Amino acid sequence: MNSNKKKHLVCDLDELVTNTSFGTSIMIKDTTVECFLIYHKNQIVSYINNCPHTGVNLDWLPNQFLSSNNQFIQCSTHGALFEIENGHCIQGPCTGDRLKSIENTVLDNKIYLIL
């Protein structure tokens, strides 16, 4: 872990597994960073909550980041679809762009983002 980065507690692992996706705000110095996590195929992926097309948050409702079939991350504004595993946009106005990933870790059944 980069010495400038710190661990930020997000939630219990069980809470993410039950809800599949989870949004959170992390304070870094004087800046709020909007983030989200997804539990997919027994792994946790985490991204900055920011569409590469317009910069808007991706969630439809609190903690709702996935398409109706839970196969993709979907932007609530323009419907862009992103692959869950790598954040690559496969459909929509930002096709070819990708979401910015965030490192995460699980310690004692709690999920932390590394920022």
Q: Enumerate domains of the chain plus CATH numbers.
A: 7-114 (2.102.10.10)
**Amino acid at site 11:** C
Per-residue confidence band for 3, with pLDDT thresholds at 50, 70 and 90: low
For tokens 């110095």, what's the residue? 29
The answer to whether the pTM exceeds 0.85 is yes
**Amino acid at site 23:** G
Taking phi first (over 0 means left), then psi (-120 to 50 degrees means alpha), and beta for anything else, what does residue 58 get?
alpha
Give residue 2's pLDDT. Answer: 60
Q: Which helix (H) or strand (E) holds 17?
A: helix 13-19
CB count within 10 Å of CB 111 equals: 25
Residue-level length of the chain: 115
